[in-house]
Amino acid sequence: MVSVNPVAHKILSYVPFLLVLIDLQYEGVICGQDGGVENHLEMGKKLLAAGQLADALSHFHSAIDGDPKNYMAFYRRATVYLAMGKSKSALPDLSKVIELKPDFTSARLQRGNLLLKQGRLDEAERDFKKVLKSNPSDKEEKEAQSQLMKSDEIQRMVTQSQAHVDSGDYVTAAAHLDLIIETSVWDVTSRELRAECFIQMGEMGKAISDLKAASKLKSDNTKAFYKLSTIYYNLGDHEMSLTEVRECLKLDPDHKQCYSHYKQVKKLNKQIQSAEELIQQQRYGDAARKYESVVETEPNVPQYSHHAKERICHCLAQEQQDMNRAITVCSEVLQSDPHNVNALKDRAEAYLLDEQYEEAIKDYENARDHSENDRQIKEGLEKAQRLLKQSQKRDYYKILGVKRNAQKKEIVKAYRKLAHQWHPDNFQDPEEKKKAEKKFIDIAQAKEVLTDPEMRQKFDHGEDPMDPESQQGGHHQNFHGGWNGGFQGFNPFGSGPFNFKFNFQ
């Protein structure tokens, strides 16, 4: 027999006591953990009932962390997800509940309903059938039977809608898909198929709505983003097209269709932006040429060529160089879009500069009928009416044969040429001399008005600075008051005295 050291014997006498302490401590830890999980579940339940979903979710997270096999924690968290509208997050939790407790009919019924909304009909039917076989409550049985019948009906409509699409009957197919999506609201396939029907029917707004929903319901839906981009592009909305194709490339940078389309849209977008920047800088000629390159870049989408022509029309009218071309381009726009207010205003401006006042008035009135509160139209119409009235009297621009936007140098040059031509000394016949005298006076007056900024401004606003009736007490030389000794002291050529050898009576 082995003898035991007194110290060792004393230590061994404490071993049973230590084992009891360790056992008690272990049991306390387990109880503490179980108590913590239950506390989280209870708190989460109260917060859920109070509508404090985020806080409730936090407690259910903690409960699952404390006990990953607690099916009730998963079920409660799924309930919060559903209340928050996060069905994608709820579905895995419901599946975990069924894995942990296969006879939990409420969880299976909930999962079946989610699967039905997602259009996963076969999986939904399996859940509903298992509910019916698992001794459900009367309420659960009634709901499972109803949903099972609904799923069968949707299965039939899915087959019919695809058949109608294959035969080209998109209207009937869309009607069937409407009914399917009323129940299977999260069914990506049905929404994409209905979007295709809408595209074929020419209802692009509805197609866009379905594709946007599909892009959100499926996290990696490059197909939806590509289709959205092409629809926007064909509608003439290059900016939205660029936005959608970029979303496609975020998901798959190597997507061939999206990358090819992206290069085309980006090029077009850059050209349009550059053209608009040139317009802002009042470089209208350069802007017109830039818009001509837009037509070359995309000749197959009418919206872009139409928009480019509308902006070219604007640039030419503002540039004030070639009014005939401006009128022609604006007329092309209005031929396809008769009520285009911008083109009407620009053509009216071109008509004004080309001195076709009646045509300008017609365009301004047409534009006003479609945009009553446009101040630019109102002012343009008033100006055109003044100029028409003025043109029916005496038009100093026409007298000198210059455009309304002529510079002073052009005006003086035209005046000198005409003054030489109509100088009274050049005519011997009394009648011809009398006619020349009147013409010469008109030429001199035209030069005086158009080379004086203040007088020219008055004339451009419908007043005649040389007309005593409209200029009561105004300052100007009155060439109609009789010559009283001829043109003494007046030199139409601007240097030194110029005397005639005859007097007017």
- Please write the tens of the pLDDT for every residue from 167-185: 999 999 999 999 999 999 9
Angle (nearest 5°) at CA 376 between 372 and 380: 100
The domains of the chain, with CATH numbers, are 202-395 (1.25.40.10), 396-505 (1.10.287.110)
Segment 378-383 long-range contacts (CB within 8 Å, at least 24 positions apart):
380/345, 380/348, 380/349, 380/352, 383/352, 383/461, 383/462
Segment 267-272 long-range contacts (CB within 8 Å, at least 24 positions apart):
267/297, 268/238, 268/294, 268/297, 268/298, 268/304, 269/238, 269/239, 269/242, 271/297, 272/238
Average pLDDT score, the chain: 86
What pLDDT, on the 0 to 100 scale, is given for residue 503? 34
Residue-wise pLDDT for 17-73, tens only, equals: 444 344 434 333 433 445 688 999 999 889 989 999 999 999 999 999 999 999 999
What pLDDT, on the 0 to 100 scale, is given for residue 480? 41
Amino acid sitting at position 365? E
- How does residue 504 score in pLDDT terms, banded at 50, 70 and 90? very low
Q: Name the pTM for this structure.
A: 0.68
Q: List the one residue out of 407, 405, 378 whose CA is nearest residue 460.
A: 405
**Predicted confidence (pLDDT) at residue 259 exceeds the cutoff of 60:** yes
Position of tokens 């020419």?
202
Q: How far is the C-alpha of 252 from the C-alpha of 433, rounded, in Å?
A: 87
What pLDDT, on the 0 to 100 scale, is given for residue 431? 80
Task: Answer with the residue of higher pLDDT: 431 or 163.
Answer: 163
Type and span of the H or E element at 75 = helix 71-83
> Angle, nearest 10°, between helix axes 87-100 and 71-83?
160
Tell me what the mean pLDDT of segment 268-273 comes to: 96
- How does residue 3 score in pLDDT terms, banded at 50, 70 and 90? very low
- How does residue 430 score in pLDDT terms, banded at 50, 70 and 90? confident
Tell me what the mean pLDDT of segment 279-299 comes to: 94
Tell me what the mean pLDDT of segment 481-487 comes to: 36
**Predicted confidence (pLDDT) at residue 1 exceeds the cutoff of 70:** no
CB 292 within 8 A of CB 312: yes
Please state which of the ranges 17-31, 56-70, 149-163, 333-347 shows the lowest mean pLDDT.
17-31
- Alpha carbon dihedral 163, 164, 166, 169, in 10-degree steps, equals 170
Please state which of the ranges 169-178, 275-284, 435-444 shows the lowest mean pLDDT.
435-444
Cα–Cα distances in Å, from 495 out to 410, 411, 416, 469? 18, 17, 12, 31
- How does residue 143 score in pLDDT terms, banded at 50, 70 and 90? very high
What pLDDT, on the 0 to 100 scale, is given for residue 211? 97
- How does residue 5 score in pLDDT terms, banded at 50, 70 and 90? low
Cα–Cα distances in Å, from 111 out to 1, 64, 398? 70, 19, 86
What percentage of the chain has pLDDT greater than the value 90? 70
CA 182 to chain centre: 29
What pLDDT, on the 0 to 100 scale, is given for residue 459? 87
Lookup: tokens for 31: 């109880």
Q: How far is the C-alpha of 94 from the C-alpha of 111, rounded, in Å?
A: 6
